[in-house]
Amino acid sequence: MINIDKQDIGNLLLLDYLASLHSAQEKLRLFERKYQTSLDEFSAALKASDQENFEAWDDGMEWKAYRRVSEDLSQKIEEIKHGHFET
């Protein structure tokens, strides 16, 4: 029988979440470089625009999703660091 303690599982989860967070943050940086602005400013400009720009709308939705993923992963990482997770 193999015994794995909670700390080992926490370390594996932490590594997985950190890798996923890095990937999500890289996507966020790509959008910031593409549009040379923050998501909040981009969203405001998109709403104020009279022109339909489907690529920008799609990018905006994807950008928001990556920000949400990044926030969720950051929260999970903090929980693991404090030992708050279930095995």
21 and 73 Cβ atoms separated by less than 8 Å:
yes
Tell me the pLDDT tens digit for each residue of 43-86.
999 999 999 999 999 999 999 999 999 999 999 999 999 988 77
Virtual CA dihedral for 58, 60, 65, 68, nearest 10 degrees? -170
> How far apart, in whole angstroms, are the C-alpha atoms of residue 63 and residue 59?
6
pTM above 0.95, yes or no: no
21 by DSSP, 3-state: which? helix
> How far apart, in whole angstroms, are the C-alpha atoms of residue 7 and residue 80?
9
> How far apart, in whole angstroms, are the C-alpha atoms of residue 4 and residue 54?
49
Tell me the pLDDT tens digit for each residue of 9-36.
999 999 999 999 999 999 999 999 999 9
